[in-house]
Structures are given as C-alpha cells and as structure tokens.
Structure 1
Amino acid sequence: MKLPASLFLALLVALPAFAAGPATLAGIEQGIVAVHGWGSTPADPALARPHIIVGITLHHQGETYKAGTDPAQYLRTLQRWSRDTKKWIDIPYHYVVDLEGKTFAARDLRYAGDTNTTYDPKGQALIEVVGNFEDVEPNQQQLDAVVDMMALLVARHGLSIDSIRGHKDHTQTLCPGKNLYRYLESGYFRHKVALRLAGIGRI
C-alpha cells in the first residue's frame, strides 16, 4: 500500500539524525572550502559570542551575484565590509553557497552570527546562498548544497528537522527571498534533508 505523501513526509521527519553514515557526513565536510582556502584573515575572539547550535537559519545575499564572480573575492570583500563598516567579528554567516553549489566556511561556527535585522541569531547556524532570490531562482546545485549542509548540521548537532527556518521566520524581512523561501514553506528542504539522512541515494 502506498503511503499518503503527508504521512510519508511525517515519517521521514521523525527519522533520527544518526541515520546518515559517517562516510556520507565526512564527504560533505570534506567538500566544504575551508577559510584558508579563500584567504580569510583571523577574527578577534574578544568580539565573539560563543553559542550552542539549536537551529538552522537560511539567508540569501540579497544582491545580484553575476555569473563568473570569484567567490573567494566576494568573501574577502564581505569580510572587510563586515569588520570595517559593521564592526562585526567576521562575515555574519557560518557558511556561504555560491552559484555552482560550492559551500565555503565563513564565520567560525562556535560563534554566534550577526544580522542587520532585529532577531538575535545566537544559537543558529547561518547559511547564506548568493544571489537575490526576490528576483532570481536558485539553481539545482545551490538547492542540493543547502540540503547537504542542513543534513550535516542536523546530524552533527543533534537537531530536529523542524529547527530548519528562514530569516523571515524570525523577524520582518524579505530574506531569504520569495523564490528560495518557498522551498522552506513547501517542506522541500525538510523532506530532502530527511531523505539525505535516511541514506536514500543522492538527492
């Protein structure tokens, strides 16, 4: 008997985080570009706010990101702006996903992120996807990278799949943009993360 889609999703959401094999999780981690790989400079730990990860929040860049842009240069520019203009410890996000679906480590995950809006992101692992998703659509490589990153965070930090949110779920903002947010609103990300953790093939 075929399960109704709603029941199937509910069962997947209930799957424990440890369902993913270590090799799979290790493979996702190995694919992340480390901070030294894009030329990051050390943050001042005196400005840091240590925290414990209790959820995941998805953001978008909110600006046009042109094809051919060097992601390393983008990250270095964002880092300088974050420190010099905003006086933050570092890039506000912990991970950044580029146009090709490559994930870059940014702010140290041990430290709370920052935001231009009113919510306090302490306790949240922040993922930014480059582009303005009020105007453009995320591509499949970006969606897959977000699923992988969310699955890794859920597994590594013992999170509930229901802890996956978008920036606009915390405060009044357009972020992560209507064209990316609908993948949260529809349950797409939670569904795909559950499948990833269950080891049901490559998404």
Structure 2
Amino acid sequence: MALARGYDVSDYQSSIPSDAEFVIVKATEGARTEQTGYAAKVAEARHRGIVVGHYHFIHCENPVAGEVDHFCQVVGSVPVGELLVLDFEPYGQPVTDSAATAAKNAWLAAVKARYSNNRVGLYTSADWWRRTDDNAGDFLWIADYVQAGSPRIQAPWKFHQWTDNPLDSDVYNGSIDDLRAWAGAAAPASTPAATPSAPWTAPARVTRDQWGAAAPTGAYTPMTGALGVKVHYLGSPYTFGDHSTCPAYVRKIQAQHMADPVQHWVDIAYNELVCEHGYRFEGRGHGVRSGANGDQALNAQHYAICALLGSSGSTVPTDAQLQGLRDAIEDYQHNAAAGPEIRGHRDGYSTDCPGDALYAWVQAGAPRPEETDMPLSDADKAAIEDIVRNTVRSGPPSDRDAYAVANFFAYALGGQTPPGGDSGVAAMASWLHQTTQTCVGAVVDDRLAAFGLEQKIADAVAAAVGPAVAKALAAGIQLTVTPKGN
C-alpha cells in the first residue's frame, strides 16, 4: 500500500509542492507570533482539494491559556476534516521536562475542547517523545529521519516526518483515502473553485486587435488548476513615456518573443501586460498557459502578468500601474479560475524578476495604492526610528543583524505584531501594512549605504525594510546608526 505523501510548511516555504496529498501549515508560535503566509497557503490547499492541517509551536514557559487563545484566534473556524497540531519541541526553553509535559497536555485538552469535531494531535521528535508522557491527543506525528514509514519508536503513529532535505516531508500511515476517512475530510471537488456568488466584472482592457497583435503561430496549452498569478517585469532598460507609445512597445515585445531562437514562443509569453498608465493589454489571455515562468512545470501553476517596468530607467511602478496589476490579478482569479496565490517570478525560479520595488509590493499582498495613504503619528515615527537604530547595530554589520531587521519588517508588513513586539508597536505594524507602497527605490539603498552597511547586507534587507524606511525618510525622520570605528 502506498502511504499518503505530504509536507509541513511555514513562512520558510513560498508554496506547497505540487505532489502534496496533504499539508500541515504553521499558523502561530508562542502567544503572539503569526505566519505571514499562513492564510494564503491554507487557501491554496483548500483550493487544490488536499487534506489540510494547522499547527502551533508552543513556548512551554508561557501561560498555556494565552498560547491557546492566540492559535484559535488565528485559525478561526476550521472545517470538519482538517487537523490541528501542537508542535512540541521545547529545546532550550527554561522549563523542566515535567513542566513542558504539563503545558503540552493542557494545550491539547484546551484546543480539543474548542474543536471537538476535529482531530487534535501532537508533533514531536523521537527524543522528546521519550522524555514526555504518552499523551498525544488524537494522534502522534513523529519526526525521525530514517526511511519513510519506519520511525524508531514503539508507539502507534499517524504521521512520520522522515526528512527535511530539501523540504520537511511526511507520510501518513495509510493511503490518501484512509487519511480522508480517518480525518473526516470530504473527497476533493471534481471541478475547479466554485463560481463566485456575486458577479465580478473586470475593468476594460486593450484587446489584441486594438494593440495590433500578430496571430499566434501555433496552439496554446490549456491552463487547468492554476494556483494563482505570477507578476513579472521587463528585465531590460525601460523609460516611462506617453501612453501613445505603449501599444507599439507591446508589439515590440511580441515580435521579440516570437523571434526568439531558443524559446520558440508561438506568441507573446505573457497572459497580460500593464503599462505605467494603468492600461491592461491582453496577451495570451484567460484559460491558457503562459511561456514566461521559466519552464512548463512552472507555466502550469501560475498565469503571467507583466508590468512595463525596467531593470534600469523606470524601475518603480506608478500607482496607476499597481491599480492595473491588481485589476488583472482579480480578473484572473474571478474569470479564469486562478487560485489565491500572488507571487513574483523569482518565487521558484532563479531571476531578479519582477525587480525589488515590484516584488516588495507582491510580498505586501499586492494592495491597491489608495489603501496606503495613512499619516504617520509621532508614536509611529519613534517606533520606526527605534527599531531600525536598535536592530541595525554598530558595526561591523552581520548577516544576523540584516535578517533580524528583515524578519521584523516581514511581520510588520503583513499587518502583524512582530516577535518581541509589544502593544506599542502593534499600531505601527498596522500602519506599515497600509503604507508599504508609498515610496520605495534608490533612496533606500542610499540610506542603508549611509548607515555603513556592507553592500551584501544592504541587498539582503532593502526589499523588506525599504518601504517602511522610505516612508519614514519622506516624513523627515532621521534614521542614523554609528558604524564601528566612528
């Protein structure tokens, strides 16, 4: 019997592998920390019809009630057939084994009381399983890096995490049908996502006839089961101009693509293009694969929408362009059965596309520009200044410092209170979520260089820190740090 195959994912993974039959997604850690990509991954898994689980990493030194409340608030209402899991790995936590065990058992009991119709279980290592009692709730998920399905424990298990190379990979102790029956999950739908209850009409776009497209030289490949949309840029020098020049530029792109001696594209590679004036240009259109995501496997997962935006020259999208991109994304979600994912080309493929400024917008959830016009309060200004000054320490700067800053802003840009953040930064996090796109670009690199940061560190954090720092600079905040030796 083939064991059902799945994965557990957190914010370290950008998406769920295409061969997953089940996935268990990290929702929370401790009493306040959330995962910025949690909701999107759960939506993706539900759209694909695979079995879903949600997990919480416990800090056993904290009051259990707070950790339970935080997890339940984030996951919300959970359909029957989805799993809830406690990640119990209290390595380095300032508690005894007996106190950790008590916290584990209290969490399992409390969550089961709230979700009586769902399976609630335990994930732990073989080492910690031997150090705690035998209470695993409704099921045990054991981590032991040996042959899949053969963990080195005597206790009954339902899931086995057998490797973390290159991803955290798991098997269920039975077939996928066994798993569905045990979890109470419904069979996957035989059709794509349901039609929205309310009709959605996309804003008008420039049709192929209107921009003067040449006829394709071959047949398109149909698109089925798209996970969502990938955003692209031109990857070549480009300078904004009058809108009268845009149709000719789109024709130029099509001609280059169709003449490419390596790719042999039958048409322009993109499903849609958006100019700096906010006009959408129909490319290959709905229901067919692009040629733009890197290879056929990636083309089968996402539609491709390209901004007329350069790798030099005009590198920062206009508000009108962001509006047009958002219109296109929603069009493909509502009218072409695209899933909820919004990715950049660099997600899953080695490329600079779609550029740092546009990618920061994608990472922020592709918000509409009018959602980012919230004024800074004095408390906001002080919070940003303190966080940047205290986290980017005097030199020499290190990768640790760079990623500490990036991690803080990754949470804040998702509208969440970052790890270690108190109520004083909660409002700032909310503000950051709404103001990320106000101004980005070269000023960020210049300011980071003025800090004395090494270039590789500046590159590592510019995309994450950029929108918030640039907004702070625009508001007149003086962000300073003294490099070592000054």
Same-fold status (TM-score > 0.5): yes
1:117–1:173 contact (8 Å) kept in structure 2: no
Aligned match of 1:97: 274
Instruction: Give the alignment partner of residue 242 of structure 2, picking from 36, 47, 68.
Output: 68
CA distance in 1, matches of 2:303, 2:234: 16
- Equivalent positions of 1:190-201 (< 5 A) are 192=368
User: Could you tell which deviates more after superposition, 127-136 or 141-150?
Assistant: 127-136
Aligned match of 2:298: 120
1:82–1:91 contact (8 Å) kept in structure 2: yes
TM-score by length of 2: 0.33
- Equivalent positions of 1:39-54 (< 5 A) are 39-46=212-219, 48-52=220-224, 54=226
Q: Deviations over 1:9-64 (max 9, x none)?
A: x89997x9826x43xx3252xx1111000111211234x32222512110011223
Does 1:18 find its partner at 2:196? Answer: yes
1:79 positional shift: 1.2
1:133–1:179 contact (8 Å) kept in structure 2: no
- 3-state SS, counterpart of residue 170 of structure 1: coil
Structure 1 residues 11 and 80: alpha-carbon distance in aligned structure 2, compared to 1, 3 A threshold: closer
TM-score by length of 1: 0.74
Aligned match of 2:165: none
Structure 1: tracts of 5 or more residues without a match: 1-5, 196-203
Q: Deviations over 1:47-99 (max 9, x none)?
A: x3222251211001122332136111111111111111242011110100001
- Equivalent positions of 1:105-116 (< 5 A) are 105-115=282-292
Aligned match of 1:35: 208
- 3-state SS, counterpart of residue 299 of structure 2: coil
1:17–1:154 contact (8 Å) kept in structure 2: no
Does 1:154 find its partner at 2:333? Answer: yes
Structure 1 residues 133 and 186: alpha-carbon distance in aligned structure 2, compared to 1, 3 A threshold: farther
2:274–2:325 contact (8 Å) kept in structure 1: yes
2:274–2:321 contact (8 Å) kept in structure 1: yes
Instruction: Give the alignment partner of residue 171 of structure 1, picking from 349, 355, 361.
Output: 349
- 3-state SS, counterpart of residue 144 of structure 1: helix
Higher relative contact order (CA 8 A, sep 6+): 1
Query: Quick one: which amino acid aligns to residue 68 of structure 1?
Result: D
What count of residue pairs does the alignment treat as equivalent? 178
1:133 positional shift: 5.4
Instruction: Give the alignment partner of residue 307 of structure 2, picking from 129, 141, 156.
Output: 129
1:146 positional shift: 1.0
- 3-state SS, counterpart of residue 165 of structure 1: strand
Aligned match of 1:142: 321
1:177 positional shift: 0.4
- 3-state SS, counterpart of residue 196 of structure 2: helix
Identity over aligned pairs, percent = 23
Structure 1 residues 164 and 11: alpha-carbon distance in aligned structure 2, compared to 1, 3 A threshold: closer
CA distance in 2, matches of 1:177, 1:17: 33
The alignment's C-alpha RMSD in Å is: 3.1
User: Could you tell which deviates more after superposition, 92-101 or 132-141?
Assistant: 132-141
- 3-state SS, counterpart of residue 45 of structure 1: coil
Structure 2: tracts of 5 or more residues without a match: 1-33, 44-193, 372-486
Structure 1 residues 37 and 166: alpha-carbon distance in aligned structure 2, compared to 1, 3 A threshold: same
1:134–1:179 contact (8 Å) kept in structure 2: no
Query: Quick one: which amino acid aligns to residue 32 of structure 1?
Result: R
